[in-house]
Amino acid sequence: MPGRPTTRSLAEVAAAAHRVLSARGYRQTGISDVSKELGLSHGALYTYVRTKEALVYLALVHATRPQLLDALALPVEFPAESELVELARRWGDTSGSPRLAAALDAGPRGSVRAELAGIIDELYSSIEDNRDLLALVEQVARELPQVFQLWFVQRRRGHFDALGRYLDQRIRSGHLRAVPDVPTAVRFLVETVAWFAWHRLGDPDSAMLTDDRCRETVRHLLLAAFLPTEGEP
């Protein structure tokens, strides 16, 4: 189009791929959708990526380790599984759950209320800080088995397992209220946090809710749900 540049940086391509894939999903996104977002011709985008799968890889790199973009050779190809594993591992190293891990390692010490509040806040911050990445992964993972295995099986289910072990330990020690089913309680905790830290942004009726108010109220209500009241067996 007149007045628009005919070239884009790889970072711009990666950011556009992230936006389009997050909005449309893997199946509904074509090379032409991303090229239109960039103001490039359909053919011009193939100077940056070989395939639509490579656009997914670019979007994941943009969301997790954007500093790697400058080192990628053009046109970018969808990488070997080992590269995706390394990408997920490095992202996990910087966005893990140290408070939860410490609580599992140390056992109950001091105030379990403060301990659980810290774990809830840690999860809230992780989802809030990474919601753009989570939106992308949610859209593309089910269509790409390698991405599904990395993000849903290894990362998400691993966190569910760790949180379940924590709740089970504290329930057995009498510090938390007994629940009918721990795995269901884990989902209740995680999905409550996820809705307010992330999914509420897609609900027009929740536009008046602020991040700080949501975080504070979610923490308050989840503590009330899991901590026993005075005199409760």
Least confident of 15-19, 80-84, 100-104: 80-84
The residues with which 49 forms a beta bridge, in sequence order, are: 76
- In the chain, where the domains are located: 10-79, 85-226
Is there a common fold for 10-79 and 85-226?
yes
pLDDT tens digit string along 144-188?
777 777 776 777 888 899 999 999 999 999 999 999 999 999 999
- Three-class SS of residue 76? strand
Question: Which architecture does CATH list for 10-79?
Answer: Orthogonal Bundle (1.10)
pLDDT at 232: 54
Question: How far apart are alpha carbons 146 and 123 in whole angstroms?
Answer: 25
Question: How far apart are alpha carbons 82 and 21 in whole angstroms?
Answer: 23
How many helices (H) and strands (E) would you count in the chain? 12, 0
Question: How far apart are alpha carbons 71 and 166 in whole angstroms?
Answer: 41
Which residues have C-beta within 8 Å of that of residue 173, sequence separation ≥ 6? 107, 108
Domain 85-226 in CATH 1.10.357.10: yes
The one-letter amino acid code at 186 reads: V
pLDDT at 4: 45
